[in-house]
Structure 1
């Protein structure tokens, strides 16, 4: 309950996570039928980059600021950048849309979203922000257990974003348990689960546990600023993607190396690897 994302908004991990989220939504919009999005750790929805918290760390300067300044970003980045630019129409970078506002910026009238937040102040900020938008529900719940009451959705198509704060030692265990519940309730839903990369051992243990569980096709996409050799630094950002949309892997293999070259030109790199293979008939 101590974590506040305002200190980290727009950093390299946000850029990677939100760019992939936007690609997944773009894939869902290829069909006219509605989709449902569940954000289990929603935060406050959007962030002021001129506020003391963001100014204190300046993390966005090596994240979204670098991306916006870069020449010829790949087309795969456009769904994400279109929303970010819309929040900064004056030309200078002042605001950053968190995942709730990013999804809202990409939703259609027929789509629906549920936002879950446990922090008592943040959930009230969310309620005020989304008041009057009938497509959006805000819930004061523990994000790890929210799936039980909110899934499966009537729409049958859609995604779950799990973006926990990782402020306790057993966070990977809690995330794994939540993934198991979510997959059981909504086997066909797309799941994006974010994880920090400090040392390799806890990450590899988590991904191996996912693989051992079996289930639908799953990818692990990772963007690293440097090799994961110092367990006390945030060296990289990872996303486990369950039920990845068609051609998402190809998009990631174009997008992530470009992001690494922009945000860590000398030391950055990325990987996309299969955690669980796609099942084939026959």
Structure 2
């Protein structure tokens, strides 16, 4: 949907869960000395100014990444993720000036990286990336952000339709992230159709699907529908941090469904999620779910 802009939601609790999982999957993949392709079907703008008008309108980052920013007691995987975001905040500004900090100081939280930027921080230079973004303004920003890197393609196209053209990859290793806005109810069906075709074309790929926890039957059904598409194993994680509003609406949490997850992912998330839920909880009933079907 072209009206949707992720800048309004950058750095919120859903981004934190999504990017914690993404970081751990990519850490595992780069740990093997074999190249792979990163595919992002809804890549966004690449980075977001948290002091900008869009992010400040709802300031959702205050209940997300901001709650973890300066904590000295983060468990290892969360500390790794937060360090990546801090590194992103130390990039040169538009004048080419890099922020200077005294040793041990935490940079101010001014920027939040999109998924492609997190992948870029983790993957070796020259790695193949295919970044789909349908919104023309965000696609232009994304292309400028990546500066014409030879192995990075920014495609101003529909990622649902474009994914099949990227599979199977050469070489035959790939990680795909699919995180549409779901503002249109049709997105749920498009996720299933796109994932079904992707797995049929390249069953060995690692596929991550983010979804919102909202008052829609399609959102509740999505994980079960994805389970049927994962013949080689899956992992499902969901985090609930807030209550719906008085009308029963609102983003109360989110989930990640991973097809062909790294074998280390379940243990890592099981160790980190109690801390994360406690840190981001907005009501006493905050909770998490993690379940897995091994290959």
TM-score normalised to the size of structure 1? Answer: 0.92
Give the length in aligned residue pairs.
Answer: 277
In the alignment, the residues of structure 1 paired with residue 30 and residue 11 of structure 2 have an alpha-carbon distance, to the nearest angstrom, of 25
TM-score, normalised via structure 2 length: 0.89
Q: Deviations 1:238-266 (Å, cap 9, x if unpaired)?
A: 01110000110011111222111001163
Deviations 1:94-136 (A, max 9, x none): 0011101111011113521110011112111111111232231
Gaps of 5+ in 1: none
Residue by residue, what CA displacement relative to the aligned partner does 1:120-154 show, whole Å, maximum 9, x if unpaired? 12111111111232231111110111112111110
- Give 1:70 deviation, angstroms: 2.5
Residue correspondence of structure 1 range 119-158 to structure 2 within 5 A: 119-158=135-174
Is contact 1:26-1:79 (8 Å) kept? no
Q: Name the residue aligned to 1:23.
A: 24
**Distance in 2 between the 1:93 and 1:267 partners?**
28
The residue correspondences of 1:75-90 to structure 2 (distance < 5 A) are 75-89=76-90, 90=99
SS at match of 1:144: helix
User: Quick check: 1:36 aligned with 2:37?
Assistant: yes
SS class of match (1:256): helix
Tell me, in whole angstroms, the C-alpha distance in 1 between the residues paired with 2:66 and 2:156. 32
2:204 aligned with 1:203, yes or no?
Answer: no
Q: Within the alignment, does 1:102 sit opposite 2:118 as a pair?
A: yes
Residue 205 of structure 1 deviates from its aligned partner by: 1.9
Q: Which 10-residue stretch deviates more, 8-17 or 111-120?
A: 111-120
Q: Contact 1:34–1:110 at 8 Å: present in 2 too?
A: no
Q: Could you say which residue in structure 1 is the equivalent of 2:104?
A: none
Q: Distance in 2 between matches of 1:209 and 1:87?
A: 36
2: CA distance between counterparts of 1:86 and 1:118? 28
The reply to whether residue 178 of structure 1 matches residue 178 of structure 2 is: no
> What is aligned with 1:273?
291
Q: Secondary structure at the match of 1:153?
A: coil
Maintained 8 Å contact 1:223/1:237: yes
Cα deviation code 1:31-90 (max 9, x no counterpart): 111121000000100000010111111100110010113231110123322220112235
1:58 matched residue in structure 2 = 59
1:93 to 109, 124, 129: 109
Bigger CA drift: 181-190 or 195-204?
195-204
